[in-house]
Amino acid sequence: MYTMKQACEKTGLTYETLKFYCNQGLVPNVKRDSQNRRVFDDMDIAWINSLNCLRGCNMGIQEMRHYIDLVLAGNDTIPERRVILEEKQKALREELARIQASIDYIDWKQRFYDDVEAGRIPTMAPKDDV
């Protein structure tokens, strides 16, 4: 069993975030020790790591709660969960494409500056250097 502090260390969450997730019902069936402090087992840690992934998919708390409610409702909700994840995946792929385009621009611009500094191409006027 892990204390809140240990669970935070294992999952990378802050104490406040983990407490919030627990209070919001995002970590179901949280156990308590004899002093009524939350304790977590390996299954809870895996669950919390899944919450981190959902949050990384840009899911808000309400979306996460809905998704978790579906998970807890059982296998009959798998088709709906798949749709939710497919939509998040599509949005992440679009974001990745935007990020890659920005990286490509920066790479191109860095090569351009390398060429200007090396004298391979003439210096351009500031208005032309965007």
What is the torsional sign of CA 42, 43, 49, 52?
negative
Residue 49 has pLDDT above 80, yes or no: yes
Query: Distance (Å, rounded) from C-alpha 90 to C-alpha 105?
Result: 23
> pLDDT tier at 130 (50, 70, 90 boundaries)?
low
Sequence-distant (≥ 6) Cβ neighbours of residue 107 within 8 angstroms: none
pLDDT value of position 128? 64
Residue 125 is given by DSSP the state P
In three-state secondary structure terms, 31 is strand
Residue 75: which pLDDT band, with cuts at 50, 70 and 90? very high
Residue 64 pLDDT > 70 = yes
What mean pLDDT comes out for the span 71-95? 96
For the ranges 36-40, 74-78, 125-129, the lowest mean pLDDT is seen at 125-129
